[in-house]
Amino acid sequence: MKIIMLGAPGAGKGTQAKMIAERYQIPHISTGDIFRANIKNGTQLGMEAKKYMDQGLLVPDELTVKILLDRVAQEDCKNGYVLDGFPRTIPQAEVLDKALAELGEAIDYAINVDVPDENIVRRMSGRRACLSCGATYHVEHIPPKQEGVCDNCGQALVLRDDDKPETVQNRLKVYHEQTQPLIDFYTAKGVLKTVDGTVDMKDVFEAIVSILK
C-alpha cells in the first residue's frame, strides 16, 4: 500500500502519516525528517536545504527526488510506505510516477488533509522543537511538562524559523501556487481522497482508516 499525504504545511498530515505507518506496519517517509537530520549533522545537503527552509521556500526538486527514490528502494518499503512532504509539485509527482511505473508499481492513495489557512497559522506559531533530540511540542495541544524545556532531554525548546507566522504565510503562498495543483493531478488518476483536518486528530485518523479499508 503506497500512500501520499497531501495538505498545507501544518495541516497535521505528518501526525496522520505516523499513525498510518504504525497501524499498517509500513515506513513513514518524511522528507522534512531527512532534511533535518542532514542539517543537524552539518552535511552539505543539509546546509543547502536549510537555506531554503529558513526562508519558507521549497527545497529544489533535484535535492529531494534523489533522496526519496533511494529511500523507497530499500527493503523495508517492499510492502508499501507513507510519503509525507513529497511530492510537492507536479514535476515531482511525474518523476515519482515514472519511477514507480518502471517498477510496475503505482501510488494507491493520495490523502488530502484539508485545513483553512487561518487555522494553520495559529497551529504552527504554537509549535516548539528540541534541536537536540528532535522532539516536538505545541504550547496549547502538546505542552512540555516544564515550559520551554524538553521532556526527553532537558534542553531548551525553540520556535523554529519555519514556524514563525511570517514564514508560515510565505509557506502557504508557495503551497497554494505549487502544491495544490497535485490535488487535481491525483483526482484525475482516481486516487485522491479528502478528509476534514479541522476535527480531532483521532477522528481524522478514523476517516483515513475507513478510506484505506
Provide the annotated active-site residues: 13, 88, 127, 160, 171
Pairing of strands 109-114, 192-196: parallel
Residue of 120, 118, 93, 105 whose CA lies nearest to 14: 120
Residue of 59, 55, 64, 52 whose CA lies nearest to 95: 64
Pairing of strands 28-30, 81-84: parallel
C-alpha cell at 43: 552535511
Give Cβ neighbours of residue 116 (< 8 Å, ≥ 6 apart).
Answer: 198
Amino acid at 171: R
* Packed helices 165-174 and 117-125: angle between N→C axes, nearest 10 degrees: 140
CA-to-CA distance for 118 and 141, rounded, in angstroms?
Answer: 17
Query: What's the sign of the alpha-carbon dihedral 192, 197, 202, 207?
Result: negative
3-state secondary structure of 156: strand
Q: How far apart, in Å, do the first and last CA atoms of the chain sit?
A: 11
C-alpha cell at 11: 495541516
